[in-house]
Structure 1
Amino acid sequence: MEFQYYLPVNLVFGRGKSEIIGEKAKELGKHALIVTGGKSTKSSGLLEKTEELLKNNGLSVTIFDKVTPNPLTTTVYEGAELAVANGCDMVIALGGGSSIDAGKGIAFQAVNGGDINEYIYGRKSSNKALPILAIPTTCGTGSEGNGFAVMTNPETSDKKSLRCSAIVPACSIIDPLLMMTMPKEVLASVGFDALCHNMDAYISSIAQPLTDMMALEGVRLAASSLPILYEDCENFDSWDSLCLASTLGGMVINTAGVTALHGMEHPVSGLKDVVHGKGLAALAPHLYEASIRGRTDKFAKLSVLLGGQNERDFTDRIRLLLKKLNLAVTLGEMGVEEKDVDWLAENCLKVSAPSMANHPVVFSLEEIKNIYRKSI
């Protein structure tokens, strides 16, 4: 047994822990750039509260509130320019996975400059970024627990991760109480993403003992809590469980990576700007059906955690869960057409080659196209 595991992230987990945002921020810098979206943190009052907590602890604050779902590289450039112009020495990423990914990208870009795509594709490397304090308000991406920042290049529609240990948050505050304003539709999508991160890491060919342990616990927590919360959003214990599942999912993919499910979804949301969790939901039954033969032992364990018996009913359990969450969707409903299949398959192999190679079954180009077609 041989493996390496390294993930330097400081997690502060618990209900009400957002009250110490200011205390944690002042350990990292003096002038914070708050990176967030345009709506939810404002309407919930969290943005105003965060600004107040920072100022009460002696920090200066600049706000960048232009993050959109499936954040763009151009948005990262704009945020980094603002950070540099205002002398910001730290980034507070406040919001859902898009805000955290954008914040991480901005923290990297503010220090390194140039074309961030050079770093995304590994043609250049750097281990420097502004320190990041991550405060998630959705429980899905797990970005608070890893060194990935997913962004889309609007010129090419390539959706790919910047991967760098410097953008692992210096501190992440996970407060389940911040999640409770999510609409049910958002909860379903992000919760399914959290489940898929853990499943992806577990079946990955580069999984290892520590990631297996965490991923299985993440699957158990997500599978048990998500249907409950979809029906009863006041169940505090289930919020704790789903938030921990999300963070575990982010942590395990940092080491074990994602596999073909995420590899095939990223071109979809890169091209059509769809909700990531819905794209996963459309692909999952068909993709997993073609994958079980690659690791029947692991799919059997996953099925049991989802309430099934063995690998033979795994996809049935996935379909049942999606039905409970009102996520039984198709790519066709999201605007994907037959004419898009060739581009999606080719972009998948271009952008997500490592993820596809990590999958239990390494699909050919034609097999990838067939899965896309079935998902339409």
Structure 2
Amino acid sequence: MEFQYYLPVNLVFGRGTADLIGEKAARLGKRALIVTGGRSTRESGLLARTEELLKRQGVSSVLFDKVEPNPMTTTVCEGAGIAVEEACDLVVALGGGSSLDAAKGIAFQAVNGGDINEYIFGKKVSDKALPVLAVPTTCGTGSEGNGFAVMTNPDTLDKKSLRCSAIVPKCSIIDPLLMTTMPQRVLASVGFDALCHNIDGYLSSIAQPLTDMMALEGIRLAADSLKKVYHNREDLDSWEKLCLASTLGGMVINTAGVTALHGLEHPVSGLKNAVHGRGLAALAPYVYEASIKGSPDKFAAMSKLLGGKDESDFVSQIRELIAELHLTETLGEMGISKADVPWLTENCMKISAASIASHPVILNPEEISRIYTKSI
């Protein structure tokens, strides 16, 4: 047995830990760029609360609230420009995965400059970024637990992640109480994403013992909690389990990467700005049907955690979960047509080559096209 594992993340987990935002930020810098979306953190009161907590600890702040779902590279560059102009030495990320990913991209771009797409595609590398304090308000992407920042280039519609250890948050505050304001529709999609991160990482050919342990626990926690929280928003114990499943999933994919499911979905949300978790749900049954033969033992283990008996009923367990969470929207209902399949397939092979290569069954372009077509 031989493997390497490195993930320098500082997690502060538990109900009420958002009260520590100011204290933790003050250890990282004196002037913060707060990165968030335009609405939810303001309406929930978290933005005002964060500004006050920072102020009490002597940390001044500047607000950048232009992050959109599926954040753009141009948005990241705009935010980085403000961070430089305002002499910020810290980035505080508030919100869902889009806000966290944008914040990490901003922290990187503010220090490195140039064309961020060259770093995303590995043409340039850097190990420098501003420190990031991450405060997630959705339990899905696990961005608080890894060095990935997914963004879309509006010129090419390439949706791909910047990967760099320097953008692993210096501190992530995971407070389950911040999640409870999510609309049920959002909860369903982000919770399914959390489950799929753990599944993707567990199936990966570059998985290793530590990621397998975390992924199986993440799948177990998500399977136990997601439906409970979906039907009972007052179940705080289940909120905690789902939040931990999400963070574990983010940590897993930092090392094991994602596989074909995420590899096929990213072109969909890059092209049509689809909700990521719903794109995953539309593709998942067809991706997994084509994959079980490559790793039957792992599919059997996951099926049992989802309530099944072995690899033969894994897909039916996934379909039942998708139906219960009302995630049955097809790619066609997201705006994808058969005419888009050639572009999706070509883009998948371009931006997701590593994910396809790590999948237990190496899907060729024809097989990928068939999966897209079935999902429409």
TM-score bin, normalised by smaller chain:
over 0.9
2:64 is equivalent to residue 64 of structure 1: yes
Structure 1: which 5+ residue stretches go unaligned? none
- Relative to the length of structure 1, the TM-score reads 1.00
2:177 is equivalent to residue 177 of structure 1: yes
* Paired residue secondary structure (1:49): helix
Separation of aligned partners in 2, 1:119 and 1:218:
30
Q: Give the aligned partner of residue 219 of structure 2.
A: 219
Q: Give the aligned partner of residue 306 of structure 2.
A: 306
Q: Give the aligned partner of residue 261 of structure 2.
A: 261
Q: Give the aligned partner of residue 26 of structure 1.
A: 26
Deviations 1:89-132 (A, max 9, x none): 00001100000000000000000000000000000000000000
Separation of aligned partners in 2, 1:188 and 1:231:
10
Separation of aligned partners in 1, 2:278 and 2:326:
10
Separation of aligned partners in 1, 2:303 and 2:333:
27
Deviations 1:262-284 (A, max 9, x none): 00000000000000000000000
Q: Give the aligned partner of residue 91 of structure 2.
A: 91
Q: Give the aligned partner of residue 13 of structure 1.
A: 13
Q: Give the aligned partner of residue 369 of structure 1.
A: 369
Separation of aligned partners in 1, 2:112 and 2:41:
28
2:151 is equivalent to residue 131 of structure 1: no
Structure 2: which 5+ residue stretches go unaligned? none
* Paired residue secondary structure (1:15): coil
* Paired residue secondary structure (1:336): coil
2:215 is equivalent to residue 204 of structure 1: no
Shift of 1:328: 1.6
Q: Give the aligned partner of residue 108 of structure 2.
A: 108
Shift of 1:329: 1.9
* Paired residue secondary structure (1:93): strand
Separation of aligned partners in 2, 1:223 and 1:375:
24
The residue correspondences of 1:275-286 to structure 2 (distance < 5 A) are 275-286=275-286
* Paired residue secondary structure (1:198): helix
Separation of aligned partners in 2, 1:42 and 1:93:
13
2:327 is equivalent to residue 327 of structure 1: yes
Separation of aligned partners in 2, 1:53 and 1:38:
20
Separation of aligned partners in 1, 2:314 and 2:201:
17
Deviations 1:186-239 (A, max 9, x none): 000000000000000001000000000000000000011000011001100000
- Relative to the length of structure 2, the TM-score reads 1.00
Separation of aligned partners in 2, 1:233 and 1:60:
35
Separation of aligned partners in 2, 1:206 and 1:59:
41
Shift of 1:311: 0.2
Separation of aligned partners in 1, 2:284 and 2:347:
19
* Paired residue secondary structure (1:138): coil
Q: Give the aligned partner of residue 75 of structure 2.
A: 75
The residue correspondences of 1:346-365 to structure 2 (distance < 5 A) are 346-365=346-365
Q: Give the aligned partner of residue 141 of structure 2.
A: 141
Separation of aligned partners in 2, 1:364 and 1:168:
33
Q: Give the aligned partner of residue 250 of structure 2.
A: 250
Deviations 1:316-368 (A, max 9, x none): 00000001100122100100000000000000000010001000000110000
The alignment of Structure 1 onto Structure 2 pairs a total of residues equal to: 376
Deviations 1:47-106 (A, max 9, x none): 000000000100110000000000000000000000000000000011000000000000
* Paired residue secondary structure (2:222): helix
Separation of aligned partners in 2, 1:185 and 1:375:
20
Indicate the RMSD between aligned Cα atoms, in angstroms.
Answer: 0.3
